[in-house]
Structure 1
Amino acid sequence: MRNAFADEITKLGREDPRVVMLSGDIGNRLFDKFKAAQPERFFNCGVAEQNMTGVATGMAMNGLRPFTYTITPFATTRCLEQIRTDAAYHEVPVTIVAVGAGLAYAGLGPTHHACEDLALLRAIPNMLVIAPADVWEVRAALGAVLQQDRPAYIRLGKKGEPVVHKGPLPDFRIGKAITVEEGSDVCLLSTGNMLPEALKAAEALRAQGVSARVVSFHTVKPLDEACLGEAFAGFRLVATVEEHSRIGGFGSAVAEWRVDSGMAAGARLLRFGTPDAFFKKSGEQEYAREQLGLTGHQMADAIASALA
């Protein structure tokens, strides 16, 4: 995902002279092409993420389209006040791009884990919150936020994520979910780079005689309310899938929508996410997912049990 981001932002930078790239002392080689093409529009802000966000806000107030980039906890929790009070309060088009969200940096320990960012960012007024599932959604999301005049948060994985979509997504719209596979018994709503695991869960469910629709909810705020209404009205069970805490994340947003919409009847809601605890074991992302019940086969077994 990060390579796709670097390639796409370089392309957009060539097309749009307002695009400015600010890095929190990472990705220097990653942005070599951007720097070569637009050296005057790349700024390494150092290990000073709060200042980076403030600088980006000032740029946005003066008609530029700044993108900030660093590892997720340092792009979000470290500078939450600046995101809230500088960018969001003034409703200026700063785009915060966070790499290694969820447990992508599982091996580096809780300082580098990011399982609270969706909860934090979606609670801030005026923010768009986007979690692309693969490289094609990353590219489409970048183009889409440039059409908006408000702050946005784009949550990326790291590298090597499976490509789900077959090619570019010309119909991509912020707030409009994408159905990836059709099904009739259960509906799996996935956000971010958990989409491949949701597809594995659907495959495992098919082997058990359960038909599953899989939907990519690349936008956590605003939600695709029409898609949610259809899912809860038309399926026995709806499951949300995210690499984020079950408190405050995508699943919570869906649960809140269900309560607020008055849709008490309909499908049962099952939420997959990380528990209310720091992950302190040693291992990489795949190991962390296995330990937390977030692999495709584990989710399929839990869904089958819920249907029994």
Structure 2
Amino acid sequence: LALDRLRTKFKDRFINVGIAEQNLINISTGLAMEGFIVFAYGISAFISMRCYEQLRINLSLFSQFRNINVNLIGVGSGLSYDISGPSHHCLEDISIIRTLPNFILFSPSDYILTEKFTKFAISVKKPKYMRLDGKPLPQIYNSIRSINLENGFYELIEGEKVCMVSTGFMTHKALKVANKLKNKISVGVIDVFLLKPINEDLLLDSLKKYRYIITIEEAFINKGGLDSIISNLLVSKAHNIRLQRIGFNDTHIFTVGNREYLHRLHGLDEENIIAVIEENS
């Protein structure tokens, strides 16, 4: 529906390249090199993986010596397209995009953050990847002005000993868990929305008051995602803090079911997260 409105309102600025992600990046790069601000939209699993060579050469490499303002909009991150199966699941995009020099990686948890980053993206002449959920997410943030994008994260709830660190859709689950436990255990929630670059010193300042950190993400764990970001930070600068990773193990998901059903099968449901927190509090 949103694309239909754009197509109708801006006919001379809307190009449908078809199911051809590699060509999408080629066209986007050419337009950006001519000075255009480009937004390239596609399904997360395809725009981050099917055209990886074009992302690496056309955007990552060229942007090191040219101004290239191409903004990749990946819709359907994580298990958004739950029943579509593993071809449409996107559990690797954070890891993959983080390997590309000169890229900015943004993972918003609501539309306020999305709007803020879109305005930021117009003026920053670098390649960017914004990973969106496949379904509308409830609002978390009150206003655009309250958010400093360069900080890269926001501590939504300040806890005592335990803190959940999440991104995107899973931040909503972290908030639900924290609210369920609030009368028993004070659990912090940090929403990391800028996954590259990372403001390590500022993030560490928020983490070091906790004894136990739990990363929660719709991604393969130990593969360069949010958990790896936090792990690298703790190992190098705060090795006294314990870390627990909640995500998907090293296997594709062929089981058919909705998102919550798949979460229960793989330990990302609220009940399991609560059990992990209670066991380690």
TM-score bracket for the superposition, by shorter chain length: over 0.9
- Give the drift of 1:111: 0.4
Is the 2:72–2:128 Cα contact (8 Å) retained in structure 1? Answer: yes
1:16 alignment counterpart: none
2:272 alignment counterpart: 298
1:69 alignment counterpart: 41
Letter in 2 for 1:49: E
Is the 2:152–2:195 Cα contact (8 Å) retained in structure 1? Answer: no
- Give the drift of 1:238: 1.2
Is the 1:93–1:150 Cα contact (8 Å) retained in structure 2? Answer: yes
Separation in 1 of the partners of 2:231 and 2:254? 28
Is the 1:204–1:296 Cα contact (8 Å) retained in structure 2? Answer: no
Is the 1:136–1:169 Cα contact (8 Å) retained in structure 2? Answer: no
Does structure 1 residue 213 correspond to structure 2 residue 167? Answer: no
Letter in 1 for 2:49: T
Separation in 2 of the partners of 1:263 and 1:245? 24
Using the size of structure 1 for normalisation, the TM-score is 0.85
Is the 2:86–2:254 Cα contact (8 Å) retained in structure 1? Answer: yes
Equivalent residues in 2 for 1:262-281, closer than 5 Å: 262-265=237-240, 267-281=241-255
Gaps of 5+ in 2: none
Bigger Cα displacement from structure 2, 138-147 vs 105-114: 138-147
Gaps of 5+ in 1: 1-28
Bigger Cα displacement from structure 2, 198-207 vs 211-220: 198-207
Does structure 1 residue 196 correspond to structure 2 residue 147? Answer: no
Separation in 2 of the partners of 1:61 and 1:71? 24
Is the 1:204–1:297 Cα contact (8 Å) retained in structure 2? Answer: no
2:124 alignment counterpart: 148
Deviation sequence 1:167-205 (CA, Å, 0-9, x none):
434533144211212222212111111111000121233
Does structure 1 residue 185 correspond to structure 2 residue 161? Answer: yes
Does structure 1 residue 37 correspond to structure 2 residue 13? Answer: no
Is the 2:151–2:202 Cα contact (8 Å) retained in structure 1? Answer: no
Using the size of structure 2 for normalisation, the TM-score is 0.93
1:244 alignment counterpart: 219
- Give the drift of 1:257: 2.5
Separation in 1 of the partners of 2:262 and 2:271? 14
Is the 1:144–1:174 Cα contact (8 Å) retained in structure 2? Answer: no
Is the 2:153–2:203 Cα contact (8 Å) retained in structure 1? Answer: no
Does structure 1 residue 284 correspond to structure 2 residue 258? Answer: yes
Is the 1:134–1:162 Cα contact (8 Å) retained in structure 2? Answer: yes
Instruction: Give the 3-state SS of the residue equivalent to 2:72 in structure 1.
Output: strand
Bigger Cα displacement from structure 2, 193-202 vs 29-38: 29-38
Separation in 2 of the partners of 1:153 and 1:174? 15
Q: How many pairs were matched up?
A: 276
Distance 1:195 1:169, change over 3 A: farther
Separation in 2 of the partners of 1:35 and 1:46? 14
Separation in 2 of the partners of 1:176 and 1:136? 14
| Match of residue 230, structure 1, among 168, 191, 205 | 205
Separation in 2 of the partners of 1:144 and 1:175? 13
Is the 1:175–1:222 Cα contact (8 Å) retained in structure 2? Answer: no
Separation in 2 of the partners of 1:218 and 1:169? 16
1:22 alignment counterpart: none
Distance 1:254 1:182, change over 3 A: same
Q: Give the CA RMSD over aligned residues.
A: 1.6
| Match of residue 84, structure 1, among 56, 70, 77 | 56
Is the 1:187–1:231 Cα contact (8 Å) retained in structure 2? Answer: no
Separation in 2 of the partners of 1:305 and 1:86? 48
1:137 alignment counterpart: 113
Separation in 1 of the partners of 2:141 and 2:174? 14
Instruction: Give the 3-state SS of the residue equivalent to 1:43 in structure 2.
Output: coil
2:29 alignment counterpart: 57
